[in-house]
C-alpha cells in the first residue's frame, strides 16, 4: 500500500470532509429524479431497512461485548446513517439509467468510507490509515543529545533554573527508532519499532537532562505516538518547552496478540525488554535524569496493565506509574487472550497480578507516584482502576485516582487520563513550580 495513503489524516484536515462531501453529493444526485410512487415506496423501504440494520448491528455488538467496551454514542448514529444511505443507493440501482447506477455504486463506496471515518473519529484513537492498520510509517529520528557520563542529577528543579534559548523550536519532534538506533530485545521477544518523542527543550544546542517516560498503547494496537505526542506538546507549550522524553514501545509484538506482560516461551522476553533492554538503551543514548524519581512507566488499556505490573515489580527503575483506562492486570478484558503466555498455569497467572507483586516489595514505594485514570462513563475500567489505586495506595504509593468527565474507554478517556497524570507529575518531575 502506498505510504502517502497510509499517512492520510483521517481525524483532521480535508480528507474526511472530501469523503463526506462526495457521499452527500451522491445522495443528492440519487434523489433528483422523477418521484414515481413505485420508486418512493422502494426507496423508503430500503432507507428504513438500512437504518434498522445499522442501528441493531451496533446494539448487537454492544450486547455481545465484541470489543470489550461499549460503543460511543456517535457510532450508533454514524452506522445508522451510513446503512440508510447504502439502502438508498441500492434501491437506485433498479429502473434507472446507467449513469445513475454508477452514481449509486460510488455512493455505496462513499457511504462505507464516511461511516468508517466517522466511527474512527468517535473512538478518537487512530489518526491515520496506518494507525488503524497498525503500520508505522514514521521516518527515523536519529539526532538526540548523548548522555553526560558521570554527571549527577541537578539539586534544583529544572523549572527553577531553565531559560529557553533562542534556538528552541515551538514543538517537539518524533520519529521511529529504527536502523542504528533501534531498540532491540535481548531475550527473544520481537517488538515492532518503537517511536520516540523529544520535547522542544531536548532539541536545543545543549539540552538539559530531562525526565523520561516509557508508554504503551492498548490491544489491538501498535506503538502509535500521536496520543502521547499531542499531550506532551500541549504541556511543553505551557512550561517553556519542558516535557519528558517519551519512548512509545511495543508490549504486544503483533496487532492482536497478548503476551501477558511477562517473559514466556510463547512470546519471548517481553518483561526483559521493558525492564532491562529499554532502560539500558535509554541510559546509553539519551540525556535523561538518572534518579528513578524521574522515570515513569505508562500505558493505556492493555499497556496500562503492563505499566502497573512493571512499576510494582521494578521500583528501582520506575519511580512513577501513569495509566489511562488501564487494565488492572493483563487479561482482565479477555482472560483467554493470555492463555498462550501462561500455558494454563493459574499460579503463575495469579502471581503476575499487581496485588501479588506489591506484597513482595513492602516499603519499596515511598516517594513513588501512581496515577490511575479512566473515563467517568466507563463502567468496566473505571471501577477497576479505583481498585488498582486502592492497592497502590495501601502499598505506599502517593496515589491519584481520576475519572475523566463524559469519557468512556476511547480517545477522550486516554487523552484526559494522560493530561491528569502529567498535571500531577509535572511538579514532582521538576518541570513545573
| Block residue for cell numbers 497478548 | 258
Q: Which long-range contacts (CB under 8 A, 24 or more apart) does 334-337 make?
A: 334/68, 334/258, 337/219, 337/257, 337/258
**343 torsion bin: left (phi>0), alpha (psi -120 to 50), beta (else):** left
Whether the upstream peptide bond of residue 367 has omega within 30° of 0, thus cis, is no
Q: In this predicted structure, what is the pLDDT of residue 210?
A: 98
Q: In this predicted structure, what is the pLDDT of residue 255?
A: 87
Grouped pLDDT means (10 residues each) for the chain, 433 residues: 84 91 94 86 93 94 78 90 95 86 94 94 89 87 89 92 94 94 94 97 96 96 94 97 98 94 97 98 96 98 98 98 96 89 93 97 97 95 97 98 95 97 98 93
pTM here is: 0.92
CB 370 within 8 A of CB 396: no
Q: In this predicted structure, what is the pLDDT of residue 150?
A: 83
Ordered by where they begin, the domains of the chain are 3-123 (no CATH), 137-428 (3.40.50.1820)
**283 torsion bin: left (phi>0), alpha (psi -120 to 50), beta (else):** alpha
Q: In this predicted structure, what is the pLDDT of residue 6?
A: 87
CB 153 within 8 A of CB 289: yes
Nearest to 220 by CA among 185, 248, 190, 250: 250
Amino acid at each position: 500500500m502506498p505510504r502517502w495513503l497510509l499517512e492520510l489524516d483521517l481525524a483532521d484536515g480535508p480528507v474526511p470532509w472530501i469523503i463526506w462531501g462526495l457521499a452527500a453529493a451522491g445522495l443528492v444526485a440519487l434523489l433528483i429524479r422523477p418521484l414515481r410512487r413505485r420508486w418512493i415506496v422502494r426507496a423508503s423501504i430500503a432507507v428504513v431497512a438500512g437504518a434498522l440494520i445499522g442501528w441493531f448491528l451496533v446494539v448487537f455488538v454492544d450486547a455481545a461485548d465484541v470489543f470489550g467496551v461499549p460503543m460511543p454514542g456517535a457510532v450508533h448514529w454514524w452506522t445508522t446513517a451510513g446503512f440508510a444511505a447504502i439502502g438508498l443507493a441500492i434501491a437506485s440501482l433498479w429502473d434507472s439509467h446507467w449513469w445513475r447506477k454508477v452514481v449509486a455504486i460510488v455512493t455505496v463506496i462513499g457511504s462505507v468510507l464516511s461511516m468508517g471515518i466517522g466511527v474512527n473519529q468517535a473512538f478518537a484513537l487512530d489518526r491515520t490509515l496506518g494507525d488503524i492498520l497498525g503500520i508505522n510509517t514514521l521516518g527515523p529520528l536519529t539526532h538526540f543529545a548523548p548522555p553526560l557520563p558521570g554527571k549527577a542529577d541537578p539539586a534544583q528543579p529544572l523549572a527553577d533554573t531553565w531559560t529557553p534559548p533562542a534556538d528552541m523550536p515551538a514543538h517537539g519532534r518524533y520519529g521511529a527508532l529504527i536502523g542504528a538506533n533501534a531498540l532491540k530485545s535481548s531475550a527473544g521477544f520481537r517488538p515492532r519499532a518503537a517511536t520516540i518523542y523529544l520535547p522542544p527543550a531536548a532539541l536545543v544546542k545543549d539540552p538539559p537532562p530531562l525526565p523520561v517516560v516509557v508508554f504503551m498503547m492498548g490491544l489491538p494496537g501498535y506503538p502509535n505516538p500521536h496520543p502521547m505526542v499531542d499531550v506532551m506538546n500541549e504541556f511543553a507549550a505551557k512550561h517553556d518547552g519542558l516535557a519528558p522524553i517519551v519512548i512509545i514501545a511495543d508490549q504486544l509484538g503483533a496487532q492482536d496478540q497478548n503476551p501477558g506482560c511477562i517473559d514466556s516461551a510463547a512470546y519471548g522476553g517481553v518483561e526483559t525488554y521493558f525492564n532491562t533492554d529499554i532502560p539500558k538503551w535509554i541510559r546509553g543514548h539519551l540525556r535523561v535524569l538518572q534518579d528513578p524519581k524521574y522515570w515513569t512507566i505508562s500505558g493505556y488499556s492493555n499497556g496500562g496493565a503492563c505499566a502497573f505490573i512493571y512499576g510494582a515489580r521494578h521500583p528501582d527503575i520506575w519511580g512513577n506509574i501513569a495509566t489511562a483506562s488501564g487494565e488492572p492486570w493483563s487479561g482482565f478484558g479477555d482472560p483467554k487472550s493470555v492463555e498462550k503466555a501462561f500455558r494454563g498455569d493459574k499460579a503463575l497467572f495469579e502471581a503476575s497480578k499487581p496485588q501479588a507483586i506489591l506484597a513482595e516489595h513492602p516499603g519499596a514505594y515511598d516517594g513513588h507516584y501512581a496515577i490511575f485514570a479512566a473515563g467517568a462513563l466507563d463502567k468496566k475500567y473505571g471501577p477497576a482502576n479505583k481498585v488498582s489505586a486502592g492497592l497502590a495506595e495501601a502499598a505506599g504509593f502517593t496515589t491519584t485516582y481520576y475519572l475523566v468527565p463524559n469519557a468512556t474507554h476511547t480517545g477522550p478517556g486516554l487523552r484526559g487520563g494522560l493530561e491528569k497524570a502529567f498535571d500531577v507529575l509535572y511538579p514532582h518531575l521538576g518541570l513545573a513550580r
